[in-house]
Chain A
Amino acid sequence: MNRGSKILNSKVAGYSSLITFAVLLIAWIAGFSSRLFAVIRFESIIHEFDPWFNYRATAYMVQHGWYKFLNWFDERAWYPLGRIVGGTVYPGLMITSGGIHYLLHILNIPVHIRDICVFLAPVFSGLTSISTYLLTKELWSPGAGLFAASFIAIVPGYISRSVAGSYDNEGIAIFALQFTYFLWVRSVKTGSVFWSAGAAISYFYMVSAWGGYVFIINLIPLHVFMLLIMGRYSPRLLTSYSTFYILGLLFSMQIPFVGFQPIRTSEHMAAMGVFVLLMAVAALRHLQTVLSRNEFKKLFIVGGLLSAVLVFVAVVVLTMMGVVAPWSGRFYSLWDTGYAKIHIPIIASVSEHQPTTWFSFFFDLHILVCAFPVGLWYCVKRVNDERVFVILYAISAVYFAGVMVRLMLTLTPVVCMLAGVAFSGLLDVFLQEDSSKRLANTVNSVQEIDEQEESLEKKSLYDKAGKLRHRTKHDPTHETGISSNLKSIVILAVLMILMMFAVHCTWVTSNAYSSPSIVLAFHNSQDGSRNILDDFREAYYWLSQNTADDARIMSWWDYGYQIAGMANRTTLVDNNTWNNSHIALVGKAMSSTEEKSYEIMTSLDVDYVLVIFGGVIGYSGDDINKFLWMVRIAEGEHPKDIKESDFFTDRGEFRVDAEGAPALLNCLMYKLSYYRFGELKLDYRGPSGYDRTRNAVIGNKDFELTYLEEAYTTEHWLVRIYRVKKPFEFNRPSLKAKDRLIPPTNFISRKNLKRRKGLIRNRPMVVKGKRTLK
């Protein structure tokens, strides 16, 4: 090339890299700032439930150091069992924010660890969009990559898990997921050990961050398997997968929580099987070059059959012997959506484990859900090694997202990528002509090298990128055939759709996903002012200040992490629902009568009981509404004592009013929720004891508590805390007769030498025939 074209080339490269840089930067900033609604509306706090544990663990790690954290036995959880935190947690999140904290403090920037935790997910969303850009660029083109990066920056399906304050594993795991996939695709493309080792390291980070790493370790082998079936075996594949698998296996076993699972559980067996298969294929390929055709055929049939039988028998025997664990229950629920409901009520009781509704696909993805099949179609039509990967990714993610609301999260990135492909394909067609030559150059020059490579091998098989067959069919002169009017209409429409997408994303983020859920806000309908309900923190702070440091608090497991995080008190059960029978015991205590539950509570050393009660303000997520799950879980472990049917009326209704089932009206949860509520009149005309959440006057109004006493109730009655009395407090005094005398104190009598007569202050005047006045 001569000098002039070189300069032009570098100029074009400069412009395109400037555009890339600017778009990614804007995506990062937009993604970051659209996640800040909660911080601006409320404050910089940790949201919801699980993030509170993560925050507490991070704070512990920052305070005590990494090794103490690794050996941390948390005696404040799961009393009296405790929890080995270091071995039961994915530490990637804590290490990440702890590392940032460490780095900033070395530079004398005294940022509080809470603020790092709050803003970690928004910052990582920027990294996610960059890695999505890289991945899409590998799969399709830089233009599609920029689209995908912009989409994922603001798409609600991802924002729902990564708003500021939602300090959870998913926030960083999606970045790790996308980056691992990028490195994997890159390594398949290049066949270089460097990239596949990089993929293994990124996979290691993913393993340390989220249990969803299983998705990677099944999807990548599936990709390899599909490539083998499609006859796309290459030495590049062998290099990249064997490097990735071996390194990834070793790395993943370094995480204490994962340990030996990668070689012992069924979830990981597919990866190992594919590894063996790939080795076999490679060996056969090698033999094929060495042996003659006949010999090879014989060997192939005999050896293939033998090895298949051998592997099958080995897996069965190992599973029977218990060396390889069978599929875990949580995994079964991915295949059979009814499984959890029958066998593991504790999983089914979580709302995010419910099957996804059609509505939420549109809600979380908007136009992308429509564009996504188009992108998928493009990939299928112009398939190559990498695009096989994204096709598999898309299909499996769609399935999982349909099974569980929560797995919407894994679908979102691939939807963004394929929608990016679709939009960039569309614009390729409709923007190409009327743009000046220079613009076309910029768009194409970057793709050029890519496309040249691809088109060399597939020219005869597939379409060239950037042309739509079905449209161009009508026009023989397909390059210039589309009229400029049509073009501008289509482009305007696309721009409108994209604009509406952005508006929708912002609206959803602002309205659905930006509530910290520990602080509630409501708008006063009369004067429009905004009121804040801070009852949760009020109650937790009361606990932290005014109970003994070792006080044990019984509550439903939803609030375990929050109590530990905000009140720093011992809980019996928490959101790490590893021990079903313990939870069932708490459920049993809540659903038994006061007397029976007192036995359970004393056996568990309970000092305080905390219940959430929304009847005064109409908060629907309270314990009475969750109560049936407590009953179900308790029934699972104690079928003789607790029966779900007892809590329904004859007509099978769950009601709290006078017609409610007697078992319900007398159970502990009912009594604790409605204690003295029967006297409360919410407004002047209404009856007393009217429950706003369930729109009913409660059935059991007048009762006293024998074994517990109200210790604290928050301003809006949202959280009620009761103290469990000690046995001597409600029994007849166990004092012996001689101890019953009141010991002489420094009692000061008003009588002195002069005045010996006593008198009663405010003595009522007694007039015969009239009532006394006071």
Chain B
Amino acid sequence: METNWILFYVTLICLIINPITAEIVNKNVERNLDIASQLVKTSYKIQVEETAGKPLKEYEFIVKDPNLSFISVKDGFNKRPTIEKRKEKENGLTRYKITFASNAPQQTLLIETVSTKNILPYPSEIKQNDKQLVKYVGGLYYYSYYLTQTQRLNVQLSSSNIIAHTQVRPFAVMSNKISYGPYENVAKLTDDELFVHYENQSPFLTVNTLERTIEVSHWGNIAVKEEIQMTHTGAKLKGSFSRYDFQKDGRSGQSAVKSYRTYLPASATGVYYRDTNGNISTSNMNQMRDSVELDLRPRFPLFGGWKTQYVLGYNVPSYEYLYNSDDDYVLKMYVIDHIHDNMVIDEAVITIILPEGSSNIKLEPPYSIERRPNSLVHTYLDTVGRPVISFSQSNLVENHIAEFTLKYKFSKVSLLQEPLLVIGFIYIIFLLTIVLLRLDFSITSHSHKD
């Protein structure tokens, strides 16, 4: 509590110094909290008013959930206000400064956030036949620097089996929903805890590392390879695993992940799904109209705490992703692609291998990423090596499926280099054979027999 007071004073001082914010009021706040999966998806609808009638320029937004993965902001006119992250986190808070696109005393903000790893299994270890219970701890009130006049909170759960939840009136429970509020005139920086303990059998799958390699060939093909290591991060399996129960009883091991779906681009061909021991024979592929749906079954059902590792690869034709005018090329592809619904990626490393002889490479990512040093790789018939662009990002979710743009120069003449190399090599071999067969290397001189 001590720190909260300090924070309070600090912000108070800030507020005094900054006279504009002093008169901003949240007229109405509606929050939808979706904790039906392993992600915490919150959508805010905030009506802000400048009580003095001055045009509103800036707004301070605070996210309380740690591990914030994704945030997007829109205003009432469907425009995108600029959003800027303030400093690094203090006390687990992430602060954003939102600058409005238009000047009006009344504004509406639509904010969506996704955070990961805030729903924790509770108890953290269960037996095979037990249900997976989880708890979520968050804020009951909208946490803001400003006074909030009315606010509501809707919590979406995965099942109607609610063990316990915060009971601050008024609230209502409707099967798998809890609605709180309306709460009137909540003072700024009021922090009260929201606690929900409920049954959540949705897959708690976390991709620990994703290594995505995109290899571009100018002969018309782009090869994508994803090396994935994943863990079931739900309640850990306690005691023994029983195949008998698992086969006989449908209710046994409900929280275990037996299979999941991965969507690939519609033009994906030559899909392979394997690990270090070879092909994983348990998977199905469906060709849909706008995607290829893979029903992936790991070699074994993933129970809490169990891990697996695999490689998924496919080819796509390059004309869908690679554009050029003369020697200027532009590659547009997703940074990451869908792995399973409501996925969480702890760490993703993306590697792009360009054809040999590419130069002037410029990467334009859709969001901030961490660049890694460029390198060279040597594969089939390479002489100087192919340039490799590599970057990484941590804590990614589905909302991060977005295109990057990679611009580079490549002269078409160098496309002929590799065929010429092969032709030349074979030619030299024949030439050498011809020469060698006609030479006599013996150290003694034979008398030629007739």
* Contacts from A to B (Cβ < 8 Å): 1, 42-45, 108-110, 519, 532, 534, 537-538, 540-542, 544-546, 566, 676-677, 679-680, 709-715, 717, 720, 723, 748, 750, 752, 755
Q: Whole-angstrom distance between the alpha carbons of A717 and B241 in the complex?
A: 13
A–B Cβ pairs within 8 angstroms, 25 of them: A45-B279, A108-B380, A110-B379, A110-B380, A519-B281, A534-B299, A537-B277, A541-B275, A541-B277, A541-B300, A542-B299, A542-B306, A544-B276, A676-B242, A680-B248, A709-B240, A710-B241, A710-B242, A711-B240, A711-B241, A713-B242, A714-B300, A715-B243, A748-B195, A750-B164
Chain A min CB distance to B97 (Å): 35
Interface of B, secondary structure class, is loop
Within 8 A of A (CB), among B276-330: 276-282, 299-300, 305-309
Chain B residues lying within 8 Å of A710, measured Cβ to Cβ, are: 240-243
Nearest CB in chain B: distance from A681 CB, A: 9
**B307→A537 contact, CB < 8 A:** no
Q: List residues of chain B with CB within 8 A of the CB of A108.
A: 378-382
Report chain B residues within 8 Å CB of A680.
Answer: 244, 248
> Which B residues between 5 and 31 are near A, CB-CB below 8 angstroms?
none
Residues of A contacting B281 in the complex (Cβ-Cβ under 8 angstroms)? 519, 532, 534
Excluding A519-B281, A755-B167, 6 further A-B contacts by CB distance (< 8 Å) are A534-B282, A545-B309, A680-B248, A713-B241, A713-B242, A713-B244
* Pair B277/A542 contact, Cβ less than 8 Å: no
Top 6 A-B residue pairs of the complex, sorted by shortest distance between their CB atoms: A713-B243, A709-B240, A45-B278, A676-B244, A108-B378, A538-B299
List residues of chain B with CB within 8 A of the CB of A711.
Answer: 240-241
In the assembled complex, the Cα of A709 lies from the Cα of B306 at a distance in Å of 17
B88 within 8 A of A: no
CB distance from B222 to the nearest CB of A (A): 18
Q: How large is the interface on B (under 10, 10 to 19, 20 to 34, 35 or more residues)?
A: 20 to 34
Q: Are A537 and B278 in contact (CB under 8 A)?
A: yes
Residues of A within 8 A of B242 (CB): 676, 710, 713
* CB of B20 to closest CB in A, whole Å: 40
Q: Are the CB atoms of A109 and B300 closer together than 8 Å?
A: no
CB-contacts of B232-252 with A (<8 A): 239-244, 248
Bound-state Cα–Cα, A544 to B309, Å: 10
Inter-chain contact B275/A723, CB cutoff 8 Å = no
Asked if B277 and A748 sit within 8 Å, CB to CB, the answer is no
- CB pair A717 B195 closer than 8 Å: no
Max chain A C-beta neighbours (<10 A), residue from B244, B277, B382: B277
Residues of B within 8 A of A750 (CB): 164
Are A546 and B306 closer than 8 Å at their CB atoms?
yes
What residues of chain A lie closer than 8 Å to B309, measured between beta carbons?
Answer: 545
> For the complex, is B90 an interface residue (Cβ under 8 Å from A)?
no
Chain A residue nearest in CB terms to B239: A709
Taking A534-B282, A709-B239, A713-B241 as contacts, is the C-beta distance between A752 and B164 under 8 angstroms? no
Assuming the contacts A537-B277, A537-B299, A710-B241, asked whether A545 and B378 have C-beta atoms less than 8 A apart, the reply is no
> Is the CB of B197 closer than 8 A to any CB of chain A?
yes
Query: How far is A604 from B228 in the complex, measured between Cα atoms in Å?
Result: 35
Q: B383 — nearest CB in chain A belongs to which residue?
A: A108
Residue in chain A with minimal CB distance to B449? A1
B450 at the A interface (CB under 8 A)? yes
Write out, one digit per residue, whether chain B residues 163-196 have a CB within 8 A of any chain A CB (1) or not (0). Answer: 0100100000000000000000000000000010
Task: Give the distance in Å from the alpha carbon of A42 to the alpha carbon of B279 in the complex.
Answer: 9
Cα–Cα distance between A195 and B312 once the two chains are bound (Å): 53
Distance in Å: Cβ of B203 to nearest Cβ of chain A: 17
Q: Is the CB of B241 within 8 A of A545?
A: no
Q: Knowing A108-B382, A537-B278, A752-B167 touch, does A545 contact B306 (C-beta < 8 A)?
A: yes
Using CB atoms and an 8 Å cutoff, list the residues of chain B in contact with chain A.
164, 167, 195, 197, 239-244, 248, 275-282, 299-300, 305-309, 378-382, 450
Contact partner, B308, options A109, A545, A566, Cβ 8 Å: A545
Contact call A679/B379, Cβ cutoff below 8 A? no
Query: Which A residues are in CB contact (< 8 Å) with B275?
Result: 541
Please indicate the chain B residues that have their CB under 8 angstroms from the CB of A544 in the complex: 276
Q: How far is the CA of A471 from the CA of B412 in the complex (A)?
A: 73
In the complex the two chains form, is B300's CB within 8 Å of A712's CB?
yes
A546 to B231, CA, bound (A): 10
A720 to B309, CA, bound (A): 21
Q: Once bound together, how far apart are the Cα atoms of A537 and B195, in whole Å?
A: 43
Minimum CB distance partner of A44 in chain B: B278
Find out whether the CB atom of B243 lies under 8 angstroms from the CB atom of A717: yes
A42–B274 Cα distance when bound, in Å, is: 13
Report the separation of the CA atoms of residues A680 and B308 in the bound assembly, to the nearest whole angstrom: 28
Least distance between B351 CB and chain A CB atoms (Å) = 15
**Judging by beta carbons under 8 Å apart, are A542 and B300 in contact?**
yes
Residue of A nearest to B425 (CB): A107
A109, B380: Cβ atoms closer than 8 Å: yes
Q: Is the CB of B300 within 8 A of A538?
A: yes
Give A632 to B379 CA distance when docked, in angstroms. Answer: 54
Q: Chain A's nearest CB lies how many Å from the CB of B271? A: 14
A723 to B309, CA, bound (A): 22
Q: How distant is the Cα of A677 from the Cα of B276 in the complex, in angstroms?
A: 31
Q: Which residue on chain B has the smallest CB distance to residue A710?
A: B240
Residue with the greatest number of chain B CB neighbours at <10 A, chosen from A680, A714, A748, A752: A748
Q: Considering the complex, give the chain A residue whose CB is closest to the CB of B278.
A: A45
Asked if B244 and A540 sit within 8 Å, CB to CB, the answer is no
Whose C-beta in chain A lies nearest to the C-beta of B165? Answer: A750
Cα separation A544 to B278 with both chains bound (whole Å):
14
Q: Output the least CB separation between A704 and chain B (Å).
A: 11
Chain A residues within 8 Å of B279, by CB: 42-43, 45
Which residue of chain B has the shortest Cβ distance to A709 in the bound complex? B240
CA–CA, A490 to B167, complex, Å? 100
With a cutoff of 8 Å between Cβ atoms, the chain B residues found around residue A677 in the complex are 244
| Chain B contacts for A538, CB-based, 8 A | 299-300
Q: Closest residue to A546 on the B side, CB-wise? A: B306
**Chain B residues with Cβ under 8 A from A714's Cβ?**
243, 300
Contact at A540–B277, with CB atoms within 8 Å? yes
Give Cα A542 to B277, complex, Å.
11
- B244 — nearest CB in chain A belongs to which residue? A676
User: Shortest Cβ distance from B117 into chain A, in angstroms?
Assistant: 17
Q: Is B241 within 8 A of A541, CB to CB?
A: no
Closest to A541 in B: B299
For B378, the closest partner residue in chain A by CB is: A108
Determine how close the nearest CB of chain A comes to the CB of B103; give it in whole angstroms: 46
Structural contact, A723 and B240, CB atoms closer than 8 A: yes
Q: How far is the CA of A221 from the CA of B307 in the complex (A)?
A: 59
A444 to B300, CA, bound (A): 66
Docked pose: A544 CA to B275 CA in angstroms? 11
Residue of chain B at shortest CB distance from A680: B244
Which chain B positions have C-beta within 8 A of A679? Answer: 244
CA distance A254 to B197 in the complex (A): 70
Residue of B nearest to A111 (CB): B380
Which residues of the partner chain A approach B280 to less than 8 Å between Cβ atoms?
534
Contact B244 A748 (CB under 8 A): no
Shortest C-beta distance, A358 to chain B (Å), equals: 38
Cα A715 to Cα B244 in complex, Å, equals: 10
A-side contacts of B241, CB under 8 Å: 710-713
Distance in angstroms between the alpha carbons of A677 and B248 in the assembled complex: 12
The answer for the CA separation of A710 and B195 in the assembled complex, in Å, is 37
Q: Which residues of A contact B243 (CB under 8 A)?
A: 676, 710, 712-715, 717, 720
**Residue from A680, A714, A717, A750 having most chain B Cβ neighbours under 10 A:** A750
